[in-house]
Amino acid sequence: MHLLADASMPLVAQLAETFSDALREQGIPFTLSTFHGRQPTPEQLASADLLMIRSITRVDAELLRHAPRLKWVGTATIGTEHVDADACRYAGVAFVSTPGVNANAVGDYVASAISNIALEQGALPAGDVAIIGAGHTGRAAGQRLRGLGLNVHFYDPPLLQAGMHPTEADVHADWQRVLASKVISCHVPLTKNGEYPTYHLFSDKSIATLTDDCILINASRGAVVAEQALRSAKQRNQRLHVVLDVWENEPQIAADLLPWLRYATAHIAGHSVAGKVGGTLRLFAELAGFLKQPDLALQLPSLRRLLKPWPEAVREYRWQTDARPTWQMLASWVRDIYDIRIDDNLLRQATPEPAAFDALRRHYSARAELSQGIVVGGRWLAQREWQNRLQQLTFSHIQKQEQ
């Protein structure tokens, strides 16, 4: 049995070795090879029984034509539009994704963007926050912004239409409420069909109606926000603060928009160490189920153990205050752990070529998560309001002993 995997997936060789050792005892050979870049070659695909990818690899009928032995595809991402599920079904290939593995990292990314903008402007956004999509990443972003003290609501008509009971109370289908919000953050899959398509959800018409100084963040899929509509907003000098982690024509970025964008990054919102390692680990657990080897999943190491080689992923960030934190302190603590400005500078300093974009993703530095923060305080920490806010920001927190 031969597994072909994206070489950029952390610890894929280590986890494959766990599988190989266990299956060898059952007389089942298990081998691993890796591919570099966006697509594996036909020669690599020819011998692959299993395939592990990330969001940059397109799995379609053409790829499957070169992989006659392929039986299973797993993507270490929540997004699935890069995989043609119908083509997989037709070819008899099982397909799984890993929703939620990088939700904390994406939530941290949004919190860092808002924290930095607020600190630069000297005030939190004066208005509501609209989160588009009440799924894993949307909820993570919304909860952190509530921890900063903002009023958050969620726009998710498909969720309501499906009759599901969202965990967030304030989920609605009022698009005008979204457009009137001071902060808008996108967390949806890319869809072109159905009653609520997300392709060019933010067209020129939508963007033109946004309030002055609105903060628009896209950390979902590039084509959710039409880049031509952003160019129109730039030309009419519309007062917006646009944050793009994803691009309509990746890996080609809209270099002409860079000077106008507030922050611009190379599709790394979910790239914390825990998010990336967690994606690899989840895929191997899924693979164990596909192979009908439940004991294999039990032999996999814990995420906490796997993170030990990365000091940045296990480091503690500790702050102490006897007074209740101000929003400025909270925003600064967020920035201490993850500062979006670093990634913004890296993209602006790189050449605007697809190869440079992919290189930034491939060589991305180890990044911590907000859950590594510890707040030490006085009696105020016992107040439920502050316990809730620190939990929403995902900081760990301890009660300071009274003297």
Residue numbers annotated as active site: 221, 250, 267
Q: Report the alpha-carbon distance of residue 361 to residue 363 in Å, rounded.
A: 6
Note the helical H segments in 25-75.
42-46, 61-65
Q: Report the alpha-carbon distance of residue 138 to residue 100 in Å, rounded.
A: 10
DSSP secondary structure string, 208-240? Answer: HTSPTTEEEEE-S-GGGB-HHHHHHHHHTT--E
In whole angstroms, how far apart are CA 195 and each of 130, 158, 191, 209?
A: 20, 8, 10, 22
Q: Report the alpha-carbon distance of residue 172 to residue 160 in Å, rounded.
A: 7
Is residue 102 packed enough to be buried (19+ CB in 10 Å), middle (13-18) or exposed (0-12)?
buried
Laid out side by side, the sheet with 94-96 consists of: 31-35, 2-6, 50-53, 72-75, 94-96
Q: Report the alpha-carbon distance of residue 285 to residue 172 in Å, rounded.
A: 35
DSSP run (H or E) holding 20: helix 12-24
Q: Which residues pair with 31 in a beta bridge?
A: 2
CB 277 within 8 A of CB 299: no
Q: Report the alpha-carbon distance of residue 266 to residue 253 in Å, rounded.
A: 9
In whole angstroms, how far apart are CA 300 and each of 2, 103, 184, 294?
A: 19, 22, 39, 11
Residues in the chain: 403
**Residue entry with tokens 């030990």:** 308
